[in-house]
Structure 1
Amino acid sequence: MQVRESIARRPRSRVAYATQIPMRTGDLCQRGKHLCQGDWDINTALLLAEDAEALASTCHLLGNATTANRLEDLAESLWTLLDPPSIPDAEALIEIQRHLARLGGGESTSTGIAQPAEEARLFGYAAAETNGFPLLVRPPADYWKRFSTLAAARRSATAHAAPPEADAAPAAPRPVSTPEPVTIPSPAATTPPAANPPSAPPSAAVANGPIVAGGSDSGEVASEATHRRACHMADGSAMAAEVDLQLRAQGYELDLPASLEELKDLLSRSAPSLVVLDGIFQEAIEEVGALVRAARARVGQRVLLIALSEQKSDLAARLRAMRAGCDAFIVQPANAEEVLGRLRELNAAENADPFRIMIVEDDRSQALFAESILRKNGMQALAVNEASAVLDKLDEFRPDLILMDLNMPVCDGMELTALIREREAYLSTPIVFLSGEGDTDKHFEALSAGGDDFLTKPIAPRHLITAVTSRVRRARMLERKRKPAIREAAKGVHDSAQLARRLTEMLAMEDAATRDGGLMFIELVHAGSLRDSIGRSEFRQLMDRLTALVSERLGGNDMLARCGDSSFLLLNPDRSVGALREQAEQLRQAVATTAFGTPRAPRTLGVVIGICPFAVAAGDAKAMIDAAERAQLEAAAPDGTGVVVVEAGIDESAQSAVIEAIRVALDKSSFRVVFQPIVSLHGEEEEQFQALLRLPTVGDRVYAASELVPAAEAAGLIVEVDRWMLDSCLGTIASHLRDGRNLRLFVSQSARSVRDPGLVEWMRSALESHRVPASHISLEMRMTDAAEALPEHAAFALSMKELGVSLTLSGLEAGAQGTAMLLNLPVDYVKLAPRYTSDADEGLRNELRELVKLCHDSGRRVIAPRVEEARVAASLWASGIDLIQGNFVQQATRETNYDFQTSSG
């Protein structure tokens, strides 16, 4: 790297000054030509500009105006590329070379008195004058270009791609003489490029850099690096499927390679932001790690690699993962939340606010050097030159780390460290001593005083950055674990993984296909261009304010989660389609009429919303999220309405797949039954469970009853499915009776099975075959089916009562029809309609109490389904409900080991 020529030895006469001008201008010309013909280096350009200005000042004093003016022109052409930093295009390089050529013919005179040249600036110190720092260590050729291109991209986005809602004043035009930097356009920019743009010289290209000036590949790399994509080499397990679902809910676009070769090919061509490698593929960890490292270098951004272990790992397995470049190695994760939690920690460390570093150094030049290095690496740095001011600055700046000089006047570094450690808030703040002190005893004494490490001057910038970064990251991680962040749920916002689990639970219920409610996908309009124009930090603050606004307008049963940087998922369990649309319109209006930004620079926003009701994608959480997102994209189209509801329709190919799976399950008896406890609110300890049908298939896709029953009815297979279910449940009851346990199972029956004339005799035979008392099973009929064919249901009920079988009527509602059902059907239990277990108003609660009294007066016990929260259970108990069922009690499992004695106590 070029350095400023020394001015320590000054000529003793004006003539001597004048005779040195041609030599010094010639030296400047040689340095300038080398700069233009080789790799562009910002530090060389900076020194050249400052030396040209200093020499121009001398020429003015000597009366050599011609040379002075040419030197000033050269300096000005360089400063246009230095503030802000930008890569010169061909036109700018030609301009600099023109000034150098003119300078080569400059004249000199011998008039005037020589004045001392201006003091050397921070970047102008000679390498020999380090004062403990190697101030002019040459950084990598491309390290600063990322700051240049990011700044240029932000300027471009501000000028051309600002959202229409922003009320920003137009930027003042730049002077015509100022060359524009050669940068890759922002993906959000929509303005077409100018005709015949100047081509960049070879020196503007940066090998393996984050941005390459010119060429189409560079644009693809820049766009790819900002895309939230996750690549999961999955083993097909249930946990892998849950990880995929939660990643999708957090806004990742998923790649699921079918083989390791496909994964390697994908990583060699692209750079996802996240790679997850399941346990059975650990043998390929080195090769995958090498491809991930190459992808990181290709895009100049972080690519996370998480490896999962299928069994307890030993030291060798961990070492292999670490050497392969894994960011996290998770041993036998219990569930997807453990994986997603680790991912959140990694992202939090990467995307958190800039590191805040306080530099305590009495030598101003050394403090400025350290501050410059830290700032150029994206950190916030504060230099404090007087030890007496440090304590006052601590609470104001709240540093993540303190760089402490050892030898200072008034108060040395060890004494100051002891004073800082007396403050509880800074007991664990890393303090790193940075000094030229060579006495190792002093080093240990400093560490004993409360320091965390001792770095010796001179230190290379990259070593300083590495030391600071690693300690701050570790300190922040420890702080998060010691003081976990308050969950956003306290503000009405949940984690997206929680919402995905809740959605899966609701879709697994037996009535999911017929229930009200649905999922909204809410997206901020023009999010990409807005983020580019205002910056990520301000964009996060804006999204926090938008989140608060949305959460203030949630209903009592709504569940809201952030999904990606600019999206939300809103889950509602009980609104009709019309009510969901109305809620979406009100939400859009509230956002559009709210002033964001600041009072001096107000900003208006807009959102578009896609809605997927439960009936459209019941049983499949991923399909429901995908459908809501597609509706949102349709709402955001140029001719979109802002709110789009997915219409119910039959996917013939999907239904054919379900029907084929049912046929195979009937042939191989491969259905599965899960059980959800039905618990008494009045102290009884009867063991009672709702039996629910499931069908696992290849790839751990599990169909719920809400998908199976409609498909089986359409294919004419529902009677066979119902009988398989009854036979399985009778076998379970018989097994428990042999173990000395009395168990009652509630089993749903379709309308077609109720009308089947052979069912009664089949039931009689099955009870005798399994040797099960008929009262241990309760057949469940739906009120809607009974209302359409009351005589057939009444005849079926009477026949089953003759066998001693218990009966249940589900979906009961108050009114004439409900009263008629109770009068004509000899049922033992009634299961309420789900609307009675929602956040009811006073009118609905009064209706519920009257309905419960009617059931009790006729000798029926009342079951409340879908109970999800303790407050709902308490309200139902106050209304006289006998039994409750739902995820508040326990989720459905394959086991029947619920402790009814503890729950009744």
Structure 2
Amino acid sequence: MTAPSDTFKTRKARLRSAFLAQLPQRISEARLRLAALPDTPVEPEALTGLALVFHTIKGSSASFGLAAISDLARQAEDTVRHALTAAEPMSTQVRATLERTLDQLAVLQARPAEETNAADRFGFEPLPAAAEPAVVHTGHAAQRRAKRIYLCDDDGDLGQQLCTQLACFGYQVTALSSLAELRAAVAAEAPAAVIMDVMFPEGEHAGPAALTDLHETLGYVVPSLFISSRDDFQARLQAVKAGGSAYCTKPVKTTEMVEFLDALTNRESPTPFHVLVVDDEPNIARLHALVLEEAGMTTTIATDPAAVIDLLKGFNADLVLMDMYMPQCSGPELARVLRQMPGHVSLPIIYVSSETDRERQFRALEVGADGFLTKPVEPARLVNEVSLRAERMRTLHALMVRDGLTGLFNHNTIMQFLEIGVANARRDGRPLCFAMIDVDRFKRVNDAYGHPAGDQVLMALSRGLRLRLRECDVVGRYGGEEFAVVLPGVEVEDGKVILDQLRTSFAEVLFYAGDATFRCTFSAGIAAFPQIASADALIEAADVALYSAKGNGRNRVETASANDRSRSQDPIAAEHANGQ
């Protein structure tokens, strides 16, 4: 197995040393609590506090591989919990047993080197391959798709047509009309993906054969998409045997091809999971955070449960990893607090505790937690458990905030982003543009070609918007065939240029409905902050500008003025309703 990074080893060893340095204080605290216990029946709170000290020593030492210390602390905790259950005065014999245990802990704490090997074995095993940190892109999305793609088809006109269509979605594709041209192009520059026909003058399966040769030349498999007028099993089988990743039949639907290319060429790392680690033992909190960070996650730590709510306001957590036993506020109590807050009802919670009693674990889970991990937790299991539940959280959240057809943000979410964008622009003294986009004569598309064709148009426009705009821009489906775009940091003149480029590209996209082909256009209205000072006013002004674009002939972008009012207040706007 590959050894984990020295940095990880060094940081974990430092945390272990810090825990051992603080252990005498923990032992002293236990002595003081034990000495303060009366000979009469003991108040439950006093025994609970003593049990918690031993519990913390048990779990922390186990996490750092100090098995002997953990076993002694476990025995002492069990003894105290038995006394708590009996509700009787603590006998002299029990006190003496606990005193001996504390003496033994002090001895082991003073010479932990004997457990070094055991400590090294736990937590220093190779972790799952760490995800690459998410790259923050600030440029135009078309630049992110500027990867070399070769399209090889002996029908030169079709090749050029497809290249033009794919360019509308931000892809730069080089058309090649023969297998010889493909070989020469590959020799000059290796491609990020290949699109090619199945049949060539060299043979009915010459395309797959050429792709196989290409893979042998490069020494690796290139993402590839076959296009062909053939839809029989043998053609598809040969494409698969050659390593083809996708297959489109002619006439090729551009939107379908774009979906495949998105999947084949988009190798950007996903946004790291955000995990809030809650544990009153700082070294254990840092240890768990260290393990998760090694796996590519982003973490923040809370050692005081009272700080969790404020931390969550500024940290978009995908999951909370929390200790079960903490002073003043236990894990289950903190979970109940979070579950009473609407924004955190579905936030995944995983307990990490040395508690092994199944009944206590079950009671802790009853308050709405999603999992229970027992200390010491193997790093691989910690990473897997957190990843699975955080991914589920993101999936559920996406279903709530995104439109099912286009994958864009839904109406409510895009409006929230506009409010946030205006607030940020006002605070930073920066401009912002808000645009409303509407597909021209969309009702006629549905009537003439059917709703599936209309859906194809909406998906093409949504994908084009996502690919051609910046990472910081926010795109949503406002409703029906209307879309909304928030462009932070953009002056109105620049915003109009951006939308005009999008409009021109979209007008070139060819759509298919059975044997028929057609094109669509869109109109847009754009309004700017700070010329228009509020989110509501921006919406109204952009809406009026959109109406003006429709009235002035469609397939154009109009800019709003601060005096524009919503077309909903204009009786003559009714004739332009419903996508006309």
TM range (shorter): 0.3 to 0.5
Higher relative contact order (CA 8 A, sep 6+): 2
Alignment TM-score, normalising by the size of structure 1 = 0.29
Larger radius of gyration: 1
Q: TM-score, normalised by structure 2?
A: 0.42
